């Protein structure tokens, strides 16, 4: 489904990794591992099409992602390191905009339900600048509850700044998504209680 | 498809309203720059009348340039730009929405205040309609060309200065035909030719700049 072969990533004038191959089937959960600076985030950006690989190619359902970008992005949910929140908007406004910008037509009630489910029902009308780091992260993660129709989730450090219960809830959500035939690719340094142990891709093996 | 366009437009207008101090600063800058000229060149009405169209146009152009770097900077920092680039809708749509919101909050107030400042500089009243029309046609071109420059210089060190160096030469034709339109109207030759050229420039910029801007954003965020 999602496959890449012979990927090489150049950052500045330094080659981060080369010859990297990966394959993610429906229901698969892939954890990208490796020490800091080895190129985990860069790999996620290559896979989502935000960055261009120096060599190699990423394919989605057999088609190179660059050839039909919009069709690929319709099936992709990427949550990056920055939570994509504007400080002047409320969590609800941020979430509704994030869905609309991605091209999903989601009504206000569903957004409120998603925010309540992730534990922000009392912060709906506060500007995002007064939220804590963990709460900001949760606003971004609330999109997961609204993106069931997008099979491929690519998450960069989703567990950072979350408390123990939130980590368990998120792990359960990701496991459920895989159970339903979705795919999850994530980076994390934390051990999370997944229902099934994730496959591990160690970028360090391909480091230059 | 248009829902993305309107979502971005609504959000940017809402953000401009919540951060309205920024909009007022641009407007105040425009007013102050124009007001400086009588102090610099003297309050002789004939002289002011002669330079009025040029002064108003240069001030409008600088006011636009002053706020251009804000167009994508915040979205770039907080990650919103990445999400927009991953949208399943064409990038041209939301780029156009962002530029439109930028023009509505920066260009339009300048156009609205310009006639008052024109009276301050004693511009003949016959020239006022042409001044407003030329600004209405010209400032969107400034916003569209400037957006390409802002996208290219996104995230660079000293991007603000680079942006000015990059786009000011491109603004020159707009300035020539914009200020020229008012002068042509006052000298009796009629402003139609200048305004038609500005209109053509706007159509061209509207057709090409969003594509250039979207491509530049992809390169800048890579």
Q: Which domains does chain A have, with CATH numbers?
A: 1-75+151-208 (3.40.50.300), 85-148 (no CATH)
CA-CA distance, B112 to B103, in Å (whole number)?
A: 12
pLDDT at B178: 94
Task: Report residue B107 as tokens.
Answer: 């260009």
- Whole-number average pLDDT of chain B: 93
A102 vs B74, B78, B83: nearest CB: B83
Query: Which pLDDT band holds residue B13 (cuts at 50, 70, 90)?
Result: very high
Confidence of residue A185 (pLDDT cuts 50, 70, 90): very high
Q: Where are the alpha helices (DSSP H) in A51-132?
A: 69-74, 91-102, 108-117
Q: What is the pLDDT of residue A179?
A: 92
Q: What angle do CA A79, B80, A127 make, to 5 degrees?
A: 100
Cβ–Cβ below 8 Å for A78 and B11: no
pLDDT of residue A155: 94
How confident is the model at residue B72, as a pLDDT?
93
Burial of B164-195, coded b for 16+ CB within 10 Å and e otherwise, reads bebbeeebeebbebbbbbbbbbbeeeebeebb
Which of A30 and B160 is assigned the larger pLDDT?
Answer: A30
Q: Is A48 on the interface with B (CB under 8 A)?
A: yes
pLDDT digits (tens, 9 = 90+) for B143-193: 999 999 999 999 888 888 899 999 999 999 999 999 999 999 998 888 899
Give percent of chain A above pLDDT 70.
100
Q: How near does any CA of chain A get to the CA of B94, in Å? A: 8
Whether residue A49 lies within 8 A of chain B, CB to CB, comes out as: yes
Average pLDDT of the residues in B38-64 = 92
Residues of B in contact with A52 (CB under 8 A): 222
Q: Sorting pLDDT into bands at 50, 70 and 90, what band is A193?
A: confident
* pLDDT higher than 90, residue B92: yes
B105: DSSP letter: I
Buried/exposed A5-21: b ≥16 CB within 10 Å, e otherwise: eebbbbeeeeebbbebe
Residue B10 pLDDT level (bands cut at 50, 70, 90): very high
Task: Assign B91 a pLDDT band (cuts: 50, 70, 90).
Answer: very high
Q: What is the DSSP string of A137-191?
A: HHHHHGGGGG-TT--EEEEESTTTT--HHHHHHHHHHHHHHHHTT-EEEEE-SS-
Confidence of residue A91 (pLDDT cuts 50, 70, 90): very high
Q: Return the number of other C-beta atoms located less than 10 Å from residue B1's C-beta.
A: 9
Q: Report the alpha-carbon distance of residue B73 to residue B83 in Å, rounded.
A: 14
- Per-residue pLDDT band at A76 (split at 50, 70, 90): very high
For residue A3, pLDDT beyond 80: yes
Residue B184's pLDDT is 93
| Band of pLDDT at residue B210, cut at 50, 70 and 90 | very high
Nearest CA in chain A to B3: A100
Put simply, the answer to whether B82 touches A80 (Cβ < 8 Å) is yes
- Residues A103-109: what's their mean pLDDT? 88
**In chain A, what residues touch B82 (CB-CB under 8 Å)?**
50, 78, 80, 82, 84
Query: Which residues of chain B neighbour A71 with C-beta distances below 8 Å?
Result: 88
Look over chain A and give the mean of its residue pLDDT values, rounded to a whole number. 90
pLDDT tens, A135-178? 999 999 999 999 888 999 999 999 988 888 889 999 999 999 99
- The 10s digit of each residue's pLDDT in A111-124 is 999 999 888 888 88
Rounded Cα gap, residues A74 and A67, in angstroms: 14
Residue ranges covered by each domain of chain B: 2-221
β-partners of residue A201 are: A32
Query: Above 80 in pLDDT, residue A204?
Result: yes
**CB pair distance less than 8 Å for B11 and A103:** no
Q: Which residue of B has its CA nearest to A66?
A: B86
- Mutation to test the A interface, candidates B18, B73, B78, most A Cβ within 10 Å: B78
pLDDT in tens, A39-48: 899 999 999 9
Closest CB from B4, B78, B89 relative to A82 = B78
Tally the residues of chain B: 222
**Which among B18, B78, B89 has the least Cβ separation from residue A84?**
B78
Question: Mutation test of the interface with chain B: which of A85, A103, A142, choosing the one with the most B Cβ atoms within 10 A?
Answer: A103
């Amino acid at each position: 489904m999602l496959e890449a072969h012979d990927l090489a990533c150049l950052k500045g004038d330094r080659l981060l990794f080369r010859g990297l191959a990966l394959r993610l089937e429906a229901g698969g959960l892939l954890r990208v591992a490796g020490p800091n600076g080895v190129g985990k985030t860069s790999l996620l950006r290559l896979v989502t099409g935000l960055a261009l690989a120096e060599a190699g190619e990423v394919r989605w359902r057999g088609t190179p992602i660059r050839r039909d970008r919009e069709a690929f992005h319709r099936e992709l949910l990427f949550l990056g390191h920055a939570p994509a929140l504007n400080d002047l908007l409320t969590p609800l406004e941020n979430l509704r905009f994030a869905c609309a910008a991605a091209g999903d037509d989601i009504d206000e009630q569903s957004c409120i339900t998603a925010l309540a489910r992730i534990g922000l029902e009392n912060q709906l009308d506060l500007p995002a600048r007064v939220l804590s780091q963990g709460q900001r992260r949760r606003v971004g993660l609330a999109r997961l509850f609204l993106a069931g129709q997008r099979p491929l989730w690519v998450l960069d450090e989703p567990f950072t700044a979350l408390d123990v219960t939130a980590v368990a809830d998120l792990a359960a959500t990701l496991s459920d998504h895989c159970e339903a035939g979705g795919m999850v690719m994530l980076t994390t340094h934390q051990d999370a209680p997944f229902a099934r142990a994730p496959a591990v891709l160690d970028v360090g093996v391909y480091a230059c | 498809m248009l829902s993305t366009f309107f979502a971005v437009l609504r959000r940017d207008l809402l953000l401009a309203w919540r951060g309205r101090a920024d909009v007022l600063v641009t407007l105040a800058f425009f007013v102050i720059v124009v007001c400086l000229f009588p102090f610099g060149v003297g309050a002789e009405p004939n002289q002011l009348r002669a330079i009025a169209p040029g002064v108003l146009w240069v001030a409008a152009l600088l006011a636009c340039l002053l706020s251009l770097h804000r167009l994508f900077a915040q979205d770039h920092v907080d990650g919103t730009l990445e999400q927009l680039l991953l949208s399943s809708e064409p990038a041209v749509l939301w780029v156009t929405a962002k530029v439109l919101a930028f023009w509505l909050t920066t260009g339009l107030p300048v156009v609205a205040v310009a006639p008052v400042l024109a009276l301050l500089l004693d511009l003949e009243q016959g020239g006022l309609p042409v001044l407003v029309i030329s600004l209405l046609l010209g400032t969107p071109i400034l916003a569209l060309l400037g957006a390409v420059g802002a996208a290219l210089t996104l995230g660079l060190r000293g991007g603000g200065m680079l942006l000015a160096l990059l786009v000011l030469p491109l603004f020159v034709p707009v300035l020539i035909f914009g200020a020229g339109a008012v002068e042509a109207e006052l000298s009796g030759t009629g402003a139609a030719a200048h305004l038609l050229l500005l209109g053509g420039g706007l159509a061209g910029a509207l057709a090409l700049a969003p594509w250039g801007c979207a491509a530049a954003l992809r390169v800048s965020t890579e």
